[in-house]
């Protein structure tokens, strides 16, 4: 009983931290909502179906939260690229950035089942946070997850 209360308190505390405003005045959850609202019209049914397939292994209780977080990251990528619509490449890139590395195996499996192309190695290298720019110096990119 006490253990489950402690676990629940931990998750409530994490949600509380996400609601706190950052330096720019918006919280993490505000930015997630912003990206989803800005790109809601860009989604086509095929991409929505693919996103549903990709979040299917997430337990039902957490699936809505996972879908929203991944969709917001996909929306962020689409806005950065100034895209007119969410394409499969943007969806895959956003999924790779938004999910932990252990989920990428599932992504490859689903793409192979749908006979779609595998994600390029450059996208996977973004997730590993190590990119070699032209100057030869290592550039560590921060990808903070909460």
Predicted local confidence at residue 84, as pLDDT: 92
> How far apart are alpha carbons 136 and 70 in whole angstroms?
32
Predicted local confidence at residue 2, as pLDDT: 79
Predicted local confidence at residue 31, as pLDDT: 84
92: left (phi over 0), alpha (psi -120 to 50) or beta: alpha
Domain boundaries along the sequence of the chain: 27-120
Residue 93, CB-side half-sphere exposure with 13 Å CA sphere: 17
| Structure tokens given for 2 | 């006490």
Pairing of strands 130-131, 139-140: antiparallel
CA 66 vs CA 9, 55, 104: distances in Å: 20, 7, 15
pLDDT 10s digits, 9-47: 777 767 666 766 777 777 778 888 889 999 999 999 999
Give me the residues of the chain with pLDDT under 70, please: 13, 15-17, 19-20, 116-146
Predicted local confidence at residue 102, as pLDDT: 82
| Structure tokens given for 101 | 């590395």
Predicted local confidence at residue 130, as pLDDT: 34
């Amino acid at each position: 009983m006490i253990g489950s209360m402690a676990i629940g308190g931990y998750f409530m505390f994490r949600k509380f931290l996400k609601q706190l405003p950052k330096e720019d005045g918006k919280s993490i959850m505000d930015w997630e909502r912003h990206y989803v609202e800005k790109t809601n019209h860009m989604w086509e049914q095929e991409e929505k179906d693919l996103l549903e397939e990709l979040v299917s292994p997430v337990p039902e209780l957490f699936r809505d939260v996972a879908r929203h977080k991944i969709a917001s990251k996909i929306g962020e990528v689409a806005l950065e690229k100034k895209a007119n619509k969410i394409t499969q490449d943007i969806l895959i890139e956003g999924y790779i950035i938004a999910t932990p590395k252990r989920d990428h195996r599932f992504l490859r499996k689903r793409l192979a089942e749908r006979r779609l192309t595998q994600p390029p190695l450059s996208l996977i290298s973004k997730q590993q946070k190590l990119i070699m720019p032209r100057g030869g110096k290592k550039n560590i990119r921060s990808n903070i997850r909460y």
